[in-house]
């Protein structure tokens, strides 16, 4: 089972989140993984600097604070 499958199971079983919320979180995590791949990084080895860069990029793209917060929560 990969990280995304484990995460989805956690959202379903442990948190009992709605399907729409689960899909939003999953989409957010996939986008973050895509950004990591561009840096040739792996999710299991993510460091603070990758997260800071990702948030900075989201801000530069004009994403709302609430959107960025949700992406970080994912």
For every residue of 26-67, DSSP letters joined together read: HHHHHHHHHHHHHTT--GGG--HHHHHHHHHHHHHTT--HHH
Q: What is the pLDDT of residues 42-72, one digit of tens each?
A: 888 888 999 999 999 999 999 999 999 999 8
Report how many domains make up the chain.
1
Between 3 and 32, name the one with better pLDDT.
32
Residue with tokens 């939003």: 24
Q: Is 74 helix (H, G, I), strand (E, B) or coil?
A: coil
Structural domain boundaries, residue 28:
3-73
Between 57 and 74, name the one with better pLDDT.
57
Mean residue pLDDT of the chain comes to 89
Between 28 and 44, name the one with better pLDDT.
28
Structure confidence at residue 20 as a pLDDT band (50, 70, 90): very high
* Cα gap 50→46, rounded to integer Å: 7
* Cα gap 50→32, rounded to integer Å: 9
């Amino acid at each position: 089972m990969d990280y995304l499958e484990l995460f989805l199971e956690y959202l379903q079983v442990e948190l009992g989140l709605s399907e729409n919320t689960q899909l939003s979180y999953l989409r957010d995590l996939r986008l973050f993984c895509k950004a990591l791949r561009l840096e040739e990084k792996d999710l299991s080895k993510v460091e603070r600097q990758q997260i800071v860069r990702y948030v900075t990029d989201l801000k530069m793209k004009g994403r709302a604070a609430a959107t960025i917060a949700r992406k970080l929560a994912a």
